[in-house]
């Protein structure tokens, strides 16, 4: 069997017929992966919804302990990073390597800013003892009447923590993209990895779009 | 015939709804037997009839691969059967959850690994549920530690005991007698020993029993009371009298070591005396004997001072007995 | 791969601007007390934002429809998970049967009883109300 | 060309590294097979230890603690390390690309990664065993699992990791089925095993993430006391059960659907007959996979969930039963006017029909709420799910191994021994588990290390036959591997059963390293025994 069509591009794996089949397969699998991601978060959303329905007042009052401004800032940062990610793909489609790298770098920096703000938020929570589970110790005047606020903070930390972990993983992937694009491995002919990581990055944004109102706005 | 079969398959029917559940069982059982024989017969008949005989040429076989009539039958007949099963199942189930208003309420608490029963007029029993016959009894179940499940096979009823929440079950016992209770939700090392008995009495007898509850033991000598408490308070689930180690150390061993040092898993030790026994019953988790797991529940509030003394007296006698 | 759809730059910018605008709207609305309608509104805005991201940034609008089906499937299974779990959690002690089973026995976890009162910085309050707890600590 | 014929995936390329770093789906499948079988034996050994302990009441052989560890590990190993990865990982990996005419799965690297993730997770499970076991039951119900001092964390971590392997395999198979089929191989021309694997994969990628997050929450409950599942901290143990069964009920279909697929292959081939109701079987695979997500609450009929959800779950549960029932009838009717050969795979398929029908019908008993309350957590349930899991899945798996053994490895086992072993499995299985239905009806609770005198007779029957069952399975598997060791080779062109799917008609046994010498061209459907005569060719 002919291993390779001599004029097939180097990124075409031998078990695919053509570039388009390979691209479509990757993308389809990426969406299947997105499905698993959504269902991973689904478990936590279910926990949120169930406990919110059991402790409606506690959730509403406990959310006042979170910092809306930092949450909103993070929302803006993440949406902007989504835009720069989309523009990076747009640039590589137009074969503009320089702009693409620039946009990826911007995305990376925005992600870093996001984690920085998250760090500030977390460290404040650690200081005052608004911690998950048994480590919860905050009994300030605005919280003393709350019934089991540790559950709210458990869910808050687990959900935003898992989301933050995704941001961190995304940063690693974007760093690798910057390197590959700079090296010229990704071009308008072949940019599948960037497209895939883009989808991942937008998912991270998409989940935050729900986390933000659920925790910061309506408790 | 049906009675004989019921006896073969099931334990006695003691609750009012037991016969209903058994009938549901037999309805499904007979339908299943019929369906099962159709399947097995079809399988055996077709495979033998159309077997590939020795020396027979391989040939093109029939292209028949569907039959609307047969297929709709396969849908409709099971659908009818499961519909009946579903409705019957739900109707019987509702009988099991709707508690009659005049039911006696008894609190059942599961704890690793024994059952406590609190009666409406005060008084508590361990591992012995006493109920009157022909009167509905409502059980309010909960647990002190992990999940347990309260199962009375003769009543055909079972319910999980959850920590920090109540669950309800009820029954109306129709026959006097002593029947088994099992724990059916896995709860750790002693799970298979977490049995109890339900004693169904004539209502008059029950009234008498209930009024005497708690007072009967007052005149017993301490060591005899202790011997009684040893089984009644479920000590025997974890501690043997013959020196063999179960979940906890044997009473005999403790008795033989009276006055000697006992070593704990954190390296400390103490002399075995009345005070040690007392605190190890009331606060078992503070000093765990080396080589054992700290799993004993506290008996704080479950034993009076006199009962504690009785257990200690009983424990002391074991050593003497064994030497005789 | 020139046959791939390339979204015009303008679309991206418009979408990003709408996302930022909607974020502002949802924060602003949350300060108005609309009762339980707050949740509905916030979730509605979030869903609009999420759709914009999914259809435009994630290219679902132009992609093979199989990808969209995959995505919708994830939402459907999430819906199943929530709905069926809620059939239990929201209906305990329902049908007027056995109301005892509805709520936990102890509403509040036991460890709160030992927590000292704090100020808004999380430091234990010494005098007055906190005194009782102080004693406990030194015991 | 003849040089080329001798080259197959087993002997080319050579060297240990070429195996450890292989991207070839067939080699990965073989590695899955070997590790799966090893865990199968380990789990089986634990089962025998338990059975012998239960031969008589009282702690005769092992203590309560060891018994509790044994049954937990038996369950966890059999489910997470053997049944779930075995059929998709081994048979699925070897056959799926061959059946769709592809050169490999869509993502060979991911496939290898999946195997190593599985192995890594398995290491945690082995560590758990060495470190003293875990005693919570494979269900890890809270709050026992948050309090138990045994190795809950390593075991749940192992399961968490294995979950990723399961997801990656599922992703890979879905992409392969969608995108890697040869031209002309439309959905309705796919072999039903491919449909089954497709349905399984959908369940895998949908349900497994929830297991992963549940295991994470359980670990966090232990580390931080997050109070979501622990009632002492305001949590709800019943909610844990919802989370757990949202995965674990669909997982039942991850385990049984591939078995359906294998049976749908074996019966038409060995009956030389077009399969009855192709489209029905294909669609019912998907509908069972879907309905499987709606019925998890029937594991919780005594947990104290709301009355409303009891009724809803009981209702939906029956909807799984009906398509399954029609499937059984379709398999039986497939034999109508065929030419049935009694080969070892066919014996396994017939045993499957017998055993799985019992397993399925006893499920109807358990779906009726009122009756389930009596039967819940008794040996009736134990017997029921062993009839489904072992009588169904494992018997089908053994049948599948016997069916594709000459194809996958180019060797033929001793068919007489295989038939005898199949009979032994069938009889031993019924002898072991049928008495357990009675035990359960009479009130014997499960997970008991010791029991009441009244149950001794049935328990000792069960134990006696479990020995026969164990020996038969051992002989069946050893008979297969012996043919491999003895190199009892078949001619590369062999098609001993007269199969019609691409793996039989278009590639050698064992297959070429790149599956097909040249891209196969589809000539007929998978079961067109009414249109084409495929000769049975079996030469040494």
pLDDT per position as a tens digit, B162-183 = 999 999 999 999 999 999 999 9
State the pairing for strand pair B104-111/B136-143: parallel
Q: Residue B217's pLDDT is what?
A: 63
Task: State yes or no: pLDDT of C134 exceeds 50.
Answer: no
User: Which value, in Å, is the radius of gyration of the alpha carbons in chain A?
Assistant: 21
Would residue A8 count as lying in a domain? no
Q: Residue B263's pLDDT is what?
A: 83
Sheet order of strands, B128-132 included: B128-132, B196-201, B177-183, B148-152, B157-161
Percent of chain B residues topping a pLDDT of 70: 96
Phi/psi of residue D225, each to 5°? 60, 55
Chains with at least 3 CB pairs less than 8 angstroms from chain D: A, B, C
Would residue A13 count as lying in a domain? no
Q: What is the 3-state secondary structure (H, E, C) of D329-373?
A: HHHHHHCCCCCECCCHHHHHHHHHHHHHHHHHHHHHHHHCHHHHH
Poorest-confidence range of A106-120, B141-155, B202-216, D245-259? B202-216
**Would you place residue C138 in the very low, low, confident or very high pLDDT band (cuts 50, 70, 90)?**
very low
Burial class (CB in 10 A: 0-12, 13-18, 19+), A184: exposed
- Total domain count, chain A: 1
Can you give the residue range of the structural domain that contains A71? 20-217
The residue of chain D with its CA nearest to that of A27 is D175
- Which 3 state secondary structure label does DSSP give B47? helix
**Would you place residue B321 in the very low, low, confident or very high pLDDT band (cuts 50, 70, 90)?**
low
User: Which tokens belong to B144?
Assistant: 């002190």
Q: Is the dihedral of CA A34, A36, A39, A41 positive or negative?
A: negative
User: Which tokens belong to B63?
Assistant: 């292209």
CA angle B188/B190/B196 to nearest 5° reads 120
Q: Cα(B279)–Cα(B274) distance, rounded to whole angstroms?
A: 9
Q: Residue D489's pLDDT is what?
A: 87
Listed residue (D474, D468, D464, D528) closest to D498, CA to CA: D528
Q: Is the dihedral of CA D533, D536, D539, D540 positive or negative?
A: positive
Question: Are C93 and D227 an interchain contact pair (Cβ–Cβ within 8 Å)?
Answer: no
Query: How does pLDDT run across B48-98, given as a tens digit for each residue?
Result: 999 999 888 888 888 888 888 988 888 899 899 999 999 999 999 999 999
Q: Cα(D323)–Cα(D279) distance, rounded to whole angstroms?
A: 12
Q: Which regions in chain A score pLDDT beneath 70?
A: 1-7, 219
Q: Which residues of A touch D245 (CB under 8 A)?
A: none
In order of their start, the domains of chain D are 26-505 (1.20.210.10)
Among D206, D239, D246, the residue with its CB nearest the CB of C89 is: D239
Q: How far is CA D165 from CA C105, D119, D215, D538, in A?
A: 41, 9, 15, 37
Burial class (CB in 10 A: 0-12, 13-18, 19+), B46: buried
CATH classification number, B217-323, choose in 1.10.760.10, 3.30.470.10, 3.40.50.300, 3.10.20.740 = 1.10.760.10
Burial class (CB in 10 A: 0-12, 13-18, 19+), B218: exposed
**Would you place residue C123 in the very low, low, confident or very high pLDDT band (cuts 50, 70, 90)?**
confident
Long-range CB contacts (within 8 A, 24+) of A111-120: A111/A81, A111/A167, A111/A170, A111/A171, A111/A174, A112/A171, A113/A77, A114/A74, A114/A77, A114/A78, A114/A81, A114/A167, A115/A164, A115/A167, A115/A168, A115/A171, A117/A70, A117/A73, A117/A74, A117/A77, A118/A74, A118/A160, A118/A164, A120/A70
User: Which tokens belong to C108?
Assistant: 């509040």
Would residue A5 count as lying in a domain? no
User: Which tokens belong to B312?
Assistant: 């200690």
Question: Are C81 and A189 an interchain contact pair (Cβ–Cβ within 8 Å)?
Answer: no
Q: Do D366 and D375 touch, CB atoms closer than 8 A?
A: yes
B interface test, pick of C92, C97, C100, C108 with most B CB neighbours within 10 Å: C100
The residue of chain D with its CA nearest to that of A3 is D514
Q: Residue C128's pLDDT is what?
A: 52
Give the CATH superfamily of B104-212.
Cupredoxins -  blue copper proteins (2.60.40.420)
- What residues does each domain of chain B span? 2-48+67-97, 104-212, 217-323
**Would you place residue B214 in the very low, low, confident or very high pLDDT band (cuts 50, 70, 90)?**
low
A interface test, pick of C9, C57, C116 with most A CB neighbours within 10 Å: C57
Q: Do B199 and B129 touch, CB atoms closer than 8 A?
A: yes
Per-residue b or e along B154-171, where b marks 16 or more CB atoms closer than 10 Å to that residue's CB? bbbbbbbbbbbbbbbbbb
State the pairing for strand pair B177-183/B114-118: unpaired
Among C7, C50, C111, the residue with its CB nearest the CB of A90 is: C7
Q: Which regions in chain D score pLDDT beneath 70?
A: 1-6
Q: Residue C104's pLDDT is what?
A: 87
Q: Residue B218's pLDDT is what?
A: 64
Q: SS3 helix, strand, coil % of chain A, rounded to 5?
A: 75, 0, 25
Question: Are B89 and D370 an interchain contact pair (Cβ–Cβ within 8 Å)?
Answer: yes
Question: Quick check: do B104-212 and B217-323 share a fold?
Answer: no
Q: Does D307 touch chain B (CB under 8 A)?
A: yes
Among D294, D296, D307, the residue with its CB nearest the CB of C94 is: D307
- What residues does each domain of chain C span? 7-63, 64-103, 108-138
Q: Does A28 touch chain D (CB under 8 A)?
A: yes
The count of residues in chain D is 540
Q: DSSP letters of A25-53? A: HHHHHHHHHHHHHHHHHHHHHHHHHHHHH
Q: Residue D538's pLDDT is what?
A: 80
Distance from CA of C135 to the nearest CA of D (A): 25
Q: Does A45 touch chain C (CB under 8 A)?
A: yes
Max distance between CA atoms of chain A, in angstroms, equals: 77
| Start-to-end C-alpha separation, chain C | 76
Listed residue (D12, D5, D182, D158) closest to D72, CA to CA: D158
Task: State yes or no: pLDDT of C139 exceeds 70.
Answer: no
Q: Residue B244's pLDDT is what?
A: 78
- Helix-helix angle D395-409:D344-367, to 10 degrees: 150
Q: How far is CA B38 from CA B35, D42, D250, D353, D455, in A?
A: 5, 37, 29, 12, 32
CATH number of the domain within which A56 lies? 1.20.120.80
Q: What's D182's DSSP letter? A: P
**Would you place residue C58 in the very low, low, confident or very high pLDDT band (cuts 50, 70, 90)?**
very high
| Start-to-end C-alpha separation, chain B | 57
Residue C17 CA from chain centroid, whole number: 23
Would residue A55 count as lying in a domain? yes
The residue of chain A with its CA nearest to that of D102 is A15
User: Which tokens belong to D145?
Assistant: 């699992």
ipTM: 0.90
Q: Residue B319's pLDDT is what?
A: 76
Q: What's B116's DSSP letter? A: E
Task: State yes or no: pLDDT of B146 exceeds 90.
Answer: yes
Burial class (CB in 10 A: 0-12, 13-18, 19+), B243: middle
Q: Could you tell me which residues are beta bridge partners of residue B126?
A: B116
A216: which residues sit within 8 A by CB, 6+ positions away?
A63, A66, A67, A68, A71, A72
Would residue A178 count as lying in a domain? yes
The count of residues in chain B is 324
Q: Cα(B145)–Cα(D448) distance, rounded to whole angstroms?
A: 19
User: Which value, in Å, is the radius of gyration of the alpha carbons in chain C?
Assistant: 25
Residue D8 CA from chain centroid, whole number: 28
């Amino acid at each position: 069997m002919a291993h390779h069509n001599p004029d097939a591009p180097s990124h075409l794996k031998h078990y695919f017929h053509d570039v388009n089949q390979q691209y479509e397969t990757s993308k389809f699998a990426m969406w299947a992966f997105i499905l698993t991601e959504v269902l991973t978060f689904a478990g936590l959303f279910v926990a949120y919804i169930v406990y919110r329905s059991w402790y409606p007042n506690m959730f509403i009052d406990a959310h006042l302990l979170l910092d809306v401004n930092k949450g909103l800032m993070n929302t803006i940062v993440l949406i902007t990073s989504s835009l720069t990610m989309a523009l990076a793909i747009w640039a590589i489609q137009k074969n503009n390597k320089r702009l693409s790298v620039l946009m990826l770098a911007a995305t990376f920096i925005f992600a870093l800013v996001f984690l920085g703000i998250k760090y500030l938020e977390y460290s404040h929570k650690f200081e005052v003892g608004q911690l998950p589970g048994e480590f919860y110790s905050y009994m300030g005047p605005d919280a003393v009447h709350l019934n089991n606020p540790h559950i709210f903070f458990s869910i808050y930390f687990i959900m935003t923590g898992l989301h933050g972990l995704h941001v961190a993983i995304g940063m690693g992937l974007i760093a690798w993209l910057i390197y590959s694009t700079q090296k010229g491995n990704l071009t308008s002919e072949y940019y599948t990895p960037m497209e895939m990581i883009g989808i991942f990055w937008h998912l991270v944004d998409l989940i935050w779009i729900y986390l933000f109102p659920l925790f910061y706005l309506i408790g | 015939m049906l009675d004989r079969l019921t006896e073969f398959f099931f334990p006695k029917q003691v609750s009012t709804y037991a016969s209903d559940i058994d009938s549901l069982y037999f309805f499904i059982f007979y339908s299943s037997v019929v369906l099962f024989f159709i399947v097995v017969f079809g399988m055996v008949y077709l495979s033998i009839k159309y077997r590939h005989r020795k020396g027979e040429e391989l040939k093109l076989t029939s292209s028949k691969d569907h039959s609307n009539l047969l297929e709709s039958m396969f849908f409709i007949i099971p659908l009818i059967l499961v519909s009946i099963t579903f409705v019957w199942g739900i109707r019987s189930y509702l009988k099991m959850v709707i508690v009659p208003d005049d039911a006696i309420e008894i609190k059942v608490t599961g704890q690793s690994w024994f059952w406590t029963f609190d009666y409406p007029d005060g008084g508590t029993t361990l591992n012995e549920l006493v109920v009157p016959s022909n009167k509905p009894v409502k059980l309010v179940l909960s647990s002190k530690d992990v999940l347990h499940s309260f199962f009375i096979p003769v009543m055909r009823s079972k319910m999980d005991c959850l920590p920090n929440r109540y669950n309800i079950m009820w029954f109306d016992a129709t026959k006097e007698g002593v029947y088994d209770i099992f724990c059916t939700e896995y709860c750790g090392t002693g799970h298979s020993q977490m049995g109890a008995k339900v004693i169904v009495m004539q209502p008059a007898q029950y009234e008498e029993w209930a009024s005497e509850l708690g007072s009967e033991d007052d005149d017993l000598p301490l060591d005899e009371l202790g011997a009684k408490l040893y089984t009644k308070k479920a000590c025997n689930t974890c501690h043997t009298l013959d020196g063999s180690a179960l979940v906890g150390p044997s009473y005999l061993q403790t008795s033989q070591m009276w006055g000697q040092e006992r070593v704990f898993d954190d390296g400390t030790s103490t002399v075995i005396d009345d005070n040690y026994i007392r605190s190890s019953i009331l606060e078992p988790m503070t000093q765990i004997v080396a080589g054992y797991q700290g799993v004993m529940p506290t008996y704080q509030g479950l034993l009076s001072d006199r009962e504690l003394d009785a257990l200690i007296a009983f424990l002391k006698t074991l050593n003497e007995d064994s030497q005789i | 791969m020139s046959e791939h759809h390339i979204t015009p730059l303008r679309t991206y910018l418009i979408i990003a601007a709408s996302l930022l605008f909607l974020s502002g709207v949802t924060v602003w609305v949350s300060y108005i007390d609309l009762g339980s309608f707050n949740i509905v509104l916030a979730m509605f805005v979030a869903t609009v934002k999420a759709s914009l991201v999914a259809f435009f940034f994630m290219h679902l609008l132009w992609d093979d429809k199989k990808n969209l089906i995959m995505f919708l499937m994830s939402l459907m299974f999430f819906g199943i998970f929530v709905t069926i779990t809620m059939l239990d959690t929201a209906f305990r002690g329902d049908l007027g049967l056995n109301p005892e089973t509805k709520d936990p026995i102890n509403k509040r976890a036991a460890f709160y009883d030992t927590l000292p009162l704090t100020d808004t910085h999380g430091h234990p309050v010494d005098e007055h109300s906190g005194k009782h707890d102080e004693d406990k600590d030194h015991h | 060309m003849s040089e080329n014929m001798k080259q197959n995936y087993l002997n080319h390329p050579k060297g240990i590294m070429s195996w450890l770093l292989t991207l070839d789906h067939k080699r990965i499948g073989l590695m899955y097979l070997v590790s799966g079988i090893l865990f199968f034996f380990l789990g089986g050994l634990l089962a025998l230890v338990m059975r012998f302990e239960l031969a008589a009441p009282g702690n005769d052989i092992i203590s309560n603690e060891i018994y509790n560890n044994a049954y937990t590990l038996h369950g966890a190993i059999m489910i997470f390390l053997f049944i779930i990865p075995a059929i998709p990982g081994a048979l699925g990996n070897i056959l799926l690309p061959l059946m769709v005419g592809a050169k490999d799965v869509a993502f060979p690297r991911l496939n290898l990664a999946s195997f190593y993730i599985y192995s890594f997770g398995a290491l945690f499970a082995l560590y758990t065993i060495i470190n003293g076991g875990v005693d919570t039951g494979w269900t890890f119900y809270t709050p026992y699992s948050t309090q138990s001092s045994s190795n809950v964390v390593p075991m749940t971590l192992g399961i968490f990791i294995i979950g990723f392997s399961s997801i990656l395999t599922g992703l890979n198979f879905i992409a392969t089925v969608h995108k890697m089929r040869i031209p002309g191989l439309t959905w309705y021309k796919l072999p039903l095993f491919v449909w089954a694997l497709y349905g399984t994969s959908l369940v895998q990628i949908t349900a497994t993430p929830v297991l992963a997050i549940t295991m994470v929450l359980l670990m966090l409950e232990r580390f931080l006391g997050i109070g979501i599942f622990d009632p002492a901290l305001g949590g709800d143990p019943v909610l844990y059960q919802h989370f757990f069964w949202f995965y674990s009920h669909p997982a039942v279909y991850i385990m049984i659907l591939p078995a359906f697929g294998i049976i749908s292959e074996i019966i038409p081939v060995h009956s030389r007959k077009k399969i009855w109701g192709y489209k029905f079987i294909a669609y019912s695979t998907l509908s069972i996979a879907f309905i499987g997500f709606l019925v998890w609450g029937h594991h919780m009929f005594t947990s104290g969930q709301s009355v409303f959800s009891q009724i809803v779950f009981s209702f939906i549960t029956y909807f799984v039963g009906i398509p399954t029932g029609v499937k059984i009838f379709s398999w039986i009717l497939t034999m109508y006017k065929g030419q049935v050969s009694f080969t070892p795979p066919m014996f396994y398929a017939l045993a499957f029909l017998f055993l799985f029908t019992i397993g399925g019908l006893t499920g109807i008993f358990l779906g009726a709420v009122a009756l389930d309350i009596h039967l819940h957590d008794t040996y009736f349930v134990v017997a029921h799910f062993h009839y489904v899991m072992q009588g169904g899945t494992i018997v089908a798996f053994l049948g599948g191994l016997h069916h594709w053994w000459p194809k996958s490895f180019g060797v033929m086992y001793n068919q007489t021994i295989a038939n005898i072993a199949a009979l032994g499995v069938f009889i031993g299985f019924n002898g072991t588990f049928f008495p357990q239905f009675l035990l359960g009806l009479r009130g014997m609770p499960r997970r008991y290390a010791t029991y009441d005198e009244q149950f001794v007779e049935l328990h000792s029957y069960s134990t006696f036959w479990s020995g026969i069952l164990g020996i038969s399975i051992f002989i069946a598997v050893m008979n297969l591997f012996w043919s491999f060791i003895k190199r009892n080779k078949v001619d590369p062109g062999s098609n001993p059963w007269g199969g019609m799917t691409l793996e039989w008609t278009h590639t050698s046994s064992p297959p070429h390293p790149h599956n097909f010498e040249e891209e196969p061209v589809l000539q007929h459907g998978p079961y067109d025994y009414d249109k084409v005569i495929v000769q049975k060719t079996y030469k040494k």
